[in-house]
A and B are shown apart, each in its own frame.
Chain A
Amino acid sequence: NAGVTQTPKFHILKIGQSMTLQCTQDMNHNYMYWYRQDPGMGLKLIYYSVGAGITDKGEVPNGYNVSRSTTEDFPLRLELAAPSQTSVYFCASRAGELFFGEGSRLTVL
């Protein structure tokens, strides 16, 4: 099993651009999550999904969108990128414990 795979690992965006962070898991987990990690702030939940076709907002959803068309994939869309979205983004899936991807470091300039 590859576990949770995120792409890209690094990306630089200009203010106002849009992009999608990809997340795929091969463990057949129903629960998937997107977190952002800022220095000294821990992990904040952006969106989560309890199964294909079902998504819900977390603590900090503004400026983001998600979809869950399959069990495996849970992409995170950033619309009109802002400098405040500069962060490290982690996708995770759950079967009891959380399994994290390697993270995507995004810089908005």
Chain B
Amino acid sequence: GENVEQHPSTLSVQEGDSAVIKCTYSDSASNYFPWYKQELGKRPQLIIDIRSNVGEKKDQRIAVTLNKTAKHFSLHITETQPEDSAVYFCAASPNTGNQFYFGTGTSLTVIP
């Protein structure tokens, strides 16, 4: 099955700086890559996603990039704010199955 690795496991940045979280996947059949944000004690919620026919996608301060050849994708958060502090999960979903495979999460702390 698919194996998704996520780095770093923890990340601290100063408010206003950028944060980058990286994920790799193993199954070349994966074609959908969502990112979820989970605030403390809350449910994971989708913040952005990308499909394999696109190399980059932006939504205000958040962007995701995908390199299919290298099998890695990254989340970029610019101008970080304290409310960005949360755990972020990447995931991959193969087009041959119905499952989502999650990374182990990155705990982001934005220091005011």
**Which chain A residues have a beta carbon within 8 Å of chain B's beta carbons?**
31, 33, 35, 40-45, 48, 50, 56, 58-59, 90, 97-98, 100-103
Instruction: Kindly report which residue of chain B lies nearest to residue A41, judged by CB atoms.
Output: B104
- Cα–Cα, bound, A103→B69 (Å): 36
CB atoms of B99 and A98 under 8 A apart: no
CB atoms of A42 and B99 under 8 A apart: no
CB atoms of B104 and A48 under 8 A apart: no
When A and B form their complex, what is the total count of cross-chain residue pairs whose Cβ atoms lie within 8 Å? 43
Across the interface, B43 reaches (CB within 8 A) one of A40, A42, A45, A100, namely: A100
Q: Main SS of the interface on chain A?
A: strand
Q: Main SS of the interface on chain B?
A: loop
The verdict on B44 contacting chain A, using a C-beta distance below 8 Å, is: yes
Size bracket of the B interface: 20 to 34
A63 to chain B, nearest CB (A): 19
B21 to chain A, nearest CB (A): 13
A97-B44 contact, Cβ under 8 Å, with A42-B89, A45-B99, A59-B1: no
Interface string of B24-54 (1 = CB under 8 A from A): 0000000000101000001111100100000
Q: What are the residues of chain B within 8 A of A50 when measuring CB–CB?
A: 98
Q: What are the residues of chain A within 8 A of B46 when measuring CB–CB?
A: 97-98
CB atoms of B99 and A101 under 8 A apart: no
